Each structure stands twice: as C-alpha cells, then as structure tokens.
Amino acid sequence: MFTVQPLACALGAELSGVDLTLELSPKIFKELRRLLVEYEVVFFRDQDISPAQHRSLAASFGPLQTHPAYNTVEGFPEITILESTAENPSKIEAWHSDMTFREHPPLGTVLRSKIIPAQGGDTLWASMTAAYDGLSTPMQKFLADLTAEHDFSYGFKESLAEPGGRDRLAQAVADNPPVIHPVIRTHPESGKKVIFVNSLFTTRILELNNGESEDVLKFLFEHVVTAEYSCRFRWAPNSIAIWDNRSTQHKPINDYFPAHRMLQRITIDGDLPY
C-alpha cells in the first residue's frame, strides 16, 4: 500500500510504495482515489511509465478527454504534450484549473514529466477548499448563488493573437463556446465547498454589473493564491502529479527560459459542477 508523506498543510502528498508500471488492483486504486480527494494533489517519483501505462492509470478514474489546442503523443490522442523550448516558450502563466471552459471540466489530471530543466520549472498548486474555508461567512453567503462565465478564447487569447493563430484554433473556438459554472461548487466526492473561478478562463460573474464583477473576481483571484493555501513541487524526470481539478488550481513557474521542459498530460472527464 501507499506510504504517504504530506507536503504542505493545505494540500499535497508524496506517495511511494506502489509501482505504477503495474496494473493497480481495485483495492489499491480505491485507496489512491481516496488519497487524491483527501490531499487534492498527489505526487510520485521515479515512475517511468509508458504512454499506454499513463493512459491506463488515468482511465482508472474515468473516461478521458482530449484537448483542442495541444499536440499529442503519436497513437495516443488523449496524451497532450506540454513543451517549452527557447523557440516556443510556454505561454500559460496564470493560475488556473484545467479546461474549465468545458461544460464538464476535468475531474483530474495525470501529468508525467519527461524533460525537466536543471533548475526551475516547478509547479504550484493551491487548495480551493482551503481558500473557501478562509472566506468570512458573509462573503461565503454573498458568493453562494453566483455564476460565472468561462471562455476558451479568453484563456488562449495570446495564442489566438499570434500570426495564423485564429485560423489554427478556429475549430477549437467554434467547438468551445463560453460556459457558465457556479462561483462556488460542491465537490461531488468530499461534499466540501470550493471556489471555482480562475484567472485564466473566468471572464465575468453574471449576476453582478461589470465593475462589481471585475472587483469581486480580482479579490478572489488574489485570495485563492494565498501562500498558506498552496504547495510547490520540484519535478525530476519520471515524476508524476495527479491532481483533483475540481478542488485545486495550479500555476507553472516560468523561470527556466531558454531551457527545455516537456511533460505529458491526460485529463479525466468530470461532471457538471453544482
């Protein structure tokens, strides 16, 4: 079974004692899922899994998604390649949950590292459960019934502004019109309340006027990344992070330019936020 080494007080645990190149028994998988919901992001080291093993691990949690804007591993359309080079550095810098522009945002993400810079390139995660718990009761009540718009075009605005970007992403834009999610969602497994707006994809709160919406979102985007709600992971090749995308946000630290960094990601289908 797993040995659990908690990382920070709000979230995160490093797990060891289980070989992910082997098929997980139902009992071990059930424990992994329980640990994921409890710790919100879990990490493994020195797990040199193949693309098929990566897919099989992610598929244990549920059906898999594909992403409209990223390259994929040959023969594995579910495995997106997140790569940053001197010629084509990563453009995602904002805190976010993955793909909240979907009506059913991912349940979670299984990210494995292949090429990691000698220094830098860490990732931060923040607990949206802790962030919600850190709000005053009047603020929790104020946010309770609000809804917000999430938009693929907003999150990928820099890629769309590149020469040829609008043509390259035309289908992705057409397939992903803006969606509406509750500002505060209930985690379907833990029953806990979490803040579910993020600075990459959330554009506005529908029930507020424009100025109010901007100010409330600005407050929430700063609040959710309070250091005490976060943890930080130092990657090495063959590390794996599995995060609960319903209860966390993350941010890649882009401090390693022009070094090469490459990870491979699978997102797992989630349900309709409520």
Catalytic site positions: 96, 98, 250, 265
Number of residues that bind Fe ion (CB under 5 A): 1
Question: C-beta of 224: minimal distance to Fe ion in Å?
Answer: 15
User: For residue 252, which of 237, 266, 232 has the smallest C-alpha distance?
Assistant: 232
Which residue number, 41 or 217, has a Cβ lying nearer to Fe ion? Answer: 41
Kindly list the strands in the beta sheet with 147-150, ordered across the sheet, starting from the edge strand earlier in the chain.
179-182, 147-150, 202-205
User: For residue 57, which of 72, 40, 36 has the smallest C-alpha distance?
Assistant: 36
Which residue number, 44 or 243, has a Cβ lying nearer to Fe ion? Answer: 243
Residue 226 CA to residue 268 CA, distance in Å, equals 27
Residues from 81 through 120 that contact Fe ion (CB under 5 A): 98
Question: C-beta of 96: minimal distance to Fe ion in Å?
Answer: 6
Which residue number, 98 or 149, has a Cβ lying nearer to Fe ion? Answer: 98
Q: Which residue is nearest to Fe ion (CB)?
A: 98
- Report residue 228 as tokens: 């005490």
Residue 50 CA to residue 62 CA, distance in Å, equals 19
Which residue number, 143 or 273, has a Cβ lying nearer to Fe ion? Answer: 273
Question: C-beta of 250: minimal distance to Fe ion in Å?
Answer: 6
Question: C-beta of 266: minimal distance to Fe ion in Å?
Answer: 12
User: For residue 35, which of 55, 5, 58, 60 has the smallest C-alpha distance?
Assistant: 5
Q: Where along the sequence are the contacts to Fe ion (CB under 5 A)?
A: 98
